[in-house]
Chain A
Amino acid sequence: MALLELKHITKQFRQGKKVVTAVDDVNLAIEDKEIICLVGESGCGKTTTGKMAAGLLDQTSGQILFEGKDISKLSGAEFMAYRRSVQMVHQDPFSSLNPVRTIYQTISAPLLYHKFAKDERDARRRAIEILELVDLTPAEEILDKFPHQLSGGQRQRVSVARALTVNPKFIVADEAVSMVDVSIRASLLNMLRRLNQELGVSFLFITHDLALAKYFAWEGRVGVMYTGRMVELSRSPSLIEKPLHPYTAALMSAIPEADPRLTRSKERIVLRSDDIPSLTKLPPGCHFHPRCPVWLEGKCDKVQPVLAEMAPGHQVACHVAFDITGGGSRMTAGNR
């Protein structure tokens, strides 16, 4: 039984009189102690999916199961247990902490409310433990500071510490390191991975950076989203080494890398168009077909492909990938 399972979840927003489908029929099961990365460009629905998984946003349709139970049918106490088990760490270190509350106030509120600490003194002791767990030292000093007195990296650690106060089983990390300086990113990632290994916390790590996803979720899985749909979902090594969806392949070919020889000799996949379709005016069939270099006329523009397993542990939603098992070779060959 999966820890948390998203079943056919869809989220629609009203934009004036138009209805925008931000997330369209996404299925995802997060296992115990698993790391999953969701990758995609802005507006692909990855953050919305994360918020729904964290219980901060209601889905328009579909089901969310927590330890096998539908969360909309949980009793009060069960729901509270789910709430505590699923936490979120946000992107922006400058808006993720309340500017008028000290770190101690921020950390102690859930400890006291959920009776993880019996009094203020106990809460303080526990808060110090948690801050040390996320490598924030000297914890004693940091507790009495306000967020603006900390650096971006320190704030992100406080955000993680706040999530850890309630002993979560699962943390949604939404671009949790993208606004932190490059030189300290790795230590944040390593700290999160340690929490996964030592405390067994599962992660849904949302990022636009495939290289980061590869590093963080090498032992786990990566899902790629495009215009609200999951287009590819696979064990990381398989996806990174042999992407099956032309969109994933295009992304990987487009990303500049921190190695001049490598990045200058990468094969590029040239798309048919640079325009990202508007969510209010999505093309029929496969949403990617107007940009796709290997689309099949009469099929890709008519029928929407569904996510299906092409290789062991590797799902992809693409007609072309389905037709030629073995995937990406045709795309790169055809468009050099």
Chain B
Amino acid sequence: MTYLRDLGSGLLGSLRVMSRNKVGFAGLIITFVIVLTSLLSPYFVHMEMTANLDAIYQGPSAQNWLGTDYQGRDIFKQILLGGREVIYVAFLAGILSCGIGVAFGALAAILGGWFDTIATAAAELVITIPQYPLLLVLAGFIRLNSPIGLAFIIASISWGGLMLAIRAQVFSLKERDYVQAARALGLPTSHLLLKEIIPNMMSYILTNLVMRMTNAIYGQVGLIFLGVVPMAQNNWGVMYSLANRQGAIFGVNSAWYIMAPIFAIALLQFGMINMNRSLEELFNPRLRRGE
């Protein structure tokens, strides 16, 4: 019980700390709302399967909040349903890419030797090659059909920069006096890494995570737009891409069809980028006390 209470007050405390940065807290709420609705709507919202040719490209109305598409289907419902896969791939790719970057970077700095040499050389190569063209060519060569595969490919080409940065930071952090002191106290390497070193890089890692997630959204939507990834499900990228092909761009009412996914993606990314400011506040005690 006390544990639960501690956890509760801890969460409340964290929220209070994060709410100190207004813009950041707004970002946090936006992100939270979008992610939650995207994850839950598939259980509540159902898409009409048939086209309704009488109601093609209607403007917004009480019935269709964001109007209808080229088959007369409701756009708002598509927006509600279309976020899940986008977020899923972004999250998976972001976590994977950061995971590889942080793990390789930290290990290279701590182990040194041949592992360091190889990992550094690989990372340097990966960052020389322009990422997006590489992603396109890889996606073109390897026929992709699952979102997981897409996330893996995105992650596999985007870890280099973070790895080098983390390596450099761990190199310098591990020589810091407080890490040396912890070493002299006989504390294990896991403590040095997890308790002394990584917490000091948290805000950097988070910034990178968000950046990688937005990059993954870019990559995913771009690939769908270019027709390299099959358009099966409800997905904001598919909506944008179909709208383009159907020429929705050229009409005044039909523009709602193309604007809606753009707005959804922009709002999500705006939320994520600003959310970072609040999270930083949580991980940096110096910011926390407002000093």
Contacts and interface: CB of A to CB of B under 8 A. Distances in A.
A contacting B, Cβ–Cβ less than 8 Å: yes
Interface of A: 54-56, 80, 83-84, 86-92, 95-101, 105-106, 109-110, 113-114, 146, 148-149, 159, 162-163, 165-166
Contacts of A149: 289
Contacts of A87: 181, 184-185
A148 B191 contact: no
Contact of A114 (B186, B195, B202, B283): B186
A88 B180 contact: yes
Contacts of B195: 101, 105, 109
A165 B285 contact: no
A100 B186 contact: no
Given A98-B200, A100-B199, A84 B177 contact: no
A58 to B, nearest CB: 13
Contacts of B187: 109-110, 113
A101 B202 CA distance: 13
A99 B202 CA distance: 13
B182 interface: yes
A84 B291 contact: no
21 contacts: A56-B180, A80-B186, A88-B184, A95-B176, A95-B177, A98-B199, A98-B200, A100-B199, A100-B284, A100-B285, A101-B199, A109-B185, A109-B187, A109-B195, A113-B185, A113-B191, A146-B286, A148-B285, A163-B184, A166-B185, A166-B186
B183 interface: yes
A110 B186 contact: yes
Nearest 5 CB-CB pairs, A to B? A90-B177, A83-B186, A96-B177, A110-B185, A146-B285
Contact of B180 (A90, A101, A146): A90
Interface of B: 176-188, 191, 195-196, 199-200, 202, 283-286, 289, 291
A110 B184 CA distance: 10
B191 A109 contact: yes
Contacts of B177: 90-92, 95-96
A55 B199 contact: no
A86 B183 CA distance: 11
Contacts of B183: 56
B178 A98 contact: yes
Contacts of A88: 180-181, 184
A83 B184 CA distance: 6
A54 B286 CA distance: 31
Given A56-B180, A96-B178, A101-B195, 18 more contacts: A83-B184, A84-B185, A87-B181, A88-B180, A88-B181, A90-B177, A91-B177, A92-B177, A97-B178, A100-B200, A101-B196, A101-B199, A109-B185, A109-B187, A113-B185, A146-B286, A162-B185, A165-B185
Contacts of B185: 83-84, 87, 109-110, 113-114, 162-163, 165-166
A278 B39 CA distance: 65
Contact of A54 (B179, B184, B196): B184
Q: Which of A55, A86, A92, A99 has the most CB of B within 10 A?
A: A99
B195 to A, nearest CB: 7
A113 B285 CA distance: 25
A56 B289 CA distance: 34
A96 B181 contact: yes
B179 to A, nearest CB: 8
Contact of A113 (B186, B286, B291): B186
A105 B188 CA distance: 15
Contacts of B200: 98-100
Contacts of A91: 177
A148 B286 contact: yes
Nearest to B186: A83
Given A109-B195, A114-B186, A148 B291 contact: yes
A109 to B, nearest CB: 6
